[in-house]
Amino acid sequence: MGGIEENYHTSGYIEPMGTRTDYRRKGLATALAKECSRRLYKMGVVRVSIASAPETDVSNILYESLGPVSTRRAYRYSLTLMA
């Protein structure tokens, strides 16, 4: 679910997560993210990151609700290859 960055022991990460449609809006994913953050904090982590696609995605609603102090947008480049 999450872990500590290998070379920066005060930085951690939470893996992207989602909730099945039937169970959304019940606070389950929020509780899971907060518990993961709490456990990482107890291990000395002071900054946690969650990577997500920059496109509109239902999981981004969850991540925004956690109150991030900063957000960095990623760019995705694609190239159509022709034979």
Token digits of residue 76:
């995705």
Fill in the amino acid letter for 80: T
Average pLDDT (7-12) is 88
Q: What is the per-residue pLDDT for 17?
A: 79
Average pLDDT (25-53) is 90
Confidence of residue 74 (pLDDT cuts 50, 70, 90): low
Question: What are the domain boundaries of the chain?
Answer: 2-65
Q: What is the per-residue pLDDT for 71?
A: 73
DSSP 8-state symbol, 11: E
Model confidence, pTM: 0.73
> Residue 30 in 3-state DSSP?
helix
In this predicted structure, the answer to whether residue 45 has a pLDDT above a threshold of 80 is yes
Q: What is the per-residue pLDDT for 15?
A: 86
- Given the DSSP bridges, would you call strands 11-14 and 47-50 parallel, antiparallel or unpaired? parallel
